[in-house]
Amino acid sequence: MAVTVKTFANASEAAGALSSDRSARYLGGGTLVMRALNEGDVSISTIVRAQDQALSRIDASGPRVTLGAGVTFARILAERDLSFLHAPARSIGGPAVRNMGTVGGNLFAPNPYGDFTVALLALDATVAVQGGFGARDIPIEEFLQARDRQAGTLVLSVSCTRPASADAFRYRKIARIKPKGGSVITLAAHLPISGGRIVGARIALGSMAPTQIRARAAERALEGRSLDTATIAAAASAAAEGTSPSDNALGSAWYRREIVGVHLRRLLSGQE
Amino acid sequence: MTKIPLQFRHNGRDVAIFVDGGTNLLVALRELIGDMTPKFGCGQGGCGTCSVLIDGELHLSCLTLAETVAGRAVETLDGMKQGPNLHPLQRAFADNFAAQCGYCTPGMLMAAKALLDRNSSPSRADVIEAISGNICRCTGYEPIINAILAAAGGRASA
């Protein structure tokens, strides 16, 4: 079925078109929307595009990093200043998908995809969106909780604070195929250290709930402690708490609950 | 529904077609231009057999909205051979038994070309990464990896 394609020069016009039409979807890299069209998704009758340079801007010079929603994973991998995001970017797709898929689109990618968003959730990112009401910033966790209702808003950019050291941010994706494949589970940890203690621990999980979620019980087990064997064991045993994984072709809900603690322990103890 | 006029370069030649809204590049190439070298595999971005180069960058044509290539250069396997001669990558695929049923081959060759255009002496790991978005159900990948290394001038057994 043919759809109407509306192309706009700037993001705010595109946001207006998106918010006024319930059957409109924003086309980023195409890996979600074109796939839906190929599968005959009749709920989409309008495709909205914006050719706005601001959407593909990267600001990585300072401690606060901002990525335009249209920035591709290939561009993140080409940016030396974004090395802390290279592991999650590299874990996505093959080269073609990384040349196409965008940071903004990844926020909407359902399981077993959306790995980059797991990293952004652990980094307490902020999502800048524009709807019919104007532009505003939303904490990523709040954005994800209301993701089903975000279809009418246009994501402009995502920002986060650069981790203090390479060791403070860790990422691990478990897939059945190497080097590529959908996620069985995905884990990211941000562990800022102050005076030898973890302050502001963030553990984010992918494929452990309908959207990417924080493992709050594991965070509590880490908070205010040093990253020793006992602390890691406590966090690992709390990893599945509050999760609600599903069965899919890559793994069962039971299997995901069984392995999430194992992989969190490996992530926290720096094992390959 | 109004047809949308679309012009782009296809293997070094200017083409002009009319597409329906929402048409993907793979359909435009196969059904409107008659270039049958990119294949339809999954339509989901999982198999890679529809891979083409857009302005030299590897893309999946089935997930590319056709009108986004307006004014850009699209390269497919059809443009790879040089006159009557096979491209060195095609020759290496034949010599190393890198194609069995052949369905993945167009995508594999484009992914390999995207790699070698940027990196003329890739490591085995580079080759594996470069074709990681392309699925082959026949060869077990080893002959394909060896063919790409051979085309790059590397030792196939390395």
Q: What is the pLDDT of residue A133?
A: 75
Q: Which residues of A touch B141 (CB under 8 A)?
A: none
Q: What is the mean pLDDT of chain A?
A: 95
**Cα distances (Å, whole numbers) of residue A83 to A65, A98, A181, A258, B113:** 12, 16, 22, 31, 26
CB contact under 8 A, B4 and A5: yes
| Peptide bond between residue A112 and the one before it cis (omega within 30 degrees of 0) | yes
Q: What is the pLDDT of residue B158?
A: 39
**Cα distances (Å, whole numbers) of residue B75 to A94, A173, A250, A263:** 19, 33, 34, 42
Give the residue from chain B lying closest to A5, CA to CA: B21
Residues lower than pLDDT 50 in chain B: 155-158
The shortest CB-CB distance from B65 to any of A2, A34, A179 is to A34
Q: What is the pLDDT of residue B156?
A: 42
Is the pLDDT score of A61 beyond 60? yes
ipTM, two decimals, is: 0.95
Q: What is the pLDDT of residue B1?
A: 65
Q: What is the pLDDT of residue A213?
A: 98
How many secondary structure helices (H) and strands (E) does chain A include? 11, 14
Neighbours of A212 (CB within 10 A): 29
The shortest CB-CB distance from A99 to any of B23, B58, B128 is to B58
Q: Which residues of A touch B111 (CB under 8 A)?
A: 94-96
Mean pLDDT calculated for residue range A111-131: 96
Q: What is the pLDDT of residue B157?
A: 40
Q: What's phi and psi for A28, nearest 5 deg?
A: -95, -105
Per DSSP, B49 falls in state T
Is the pLDDT score of A235 beyond 50? yes
Q: What is the pLDDT of residue A69?
A: 98
Q: What is the pLDDT of residue B155?
A: 42
Q: Tens of pLDDT along A158-192?
A: 999 999 999 999 999 999 987 778 999 999 999 99
CB contact under 8 A, A5 and B67: yes
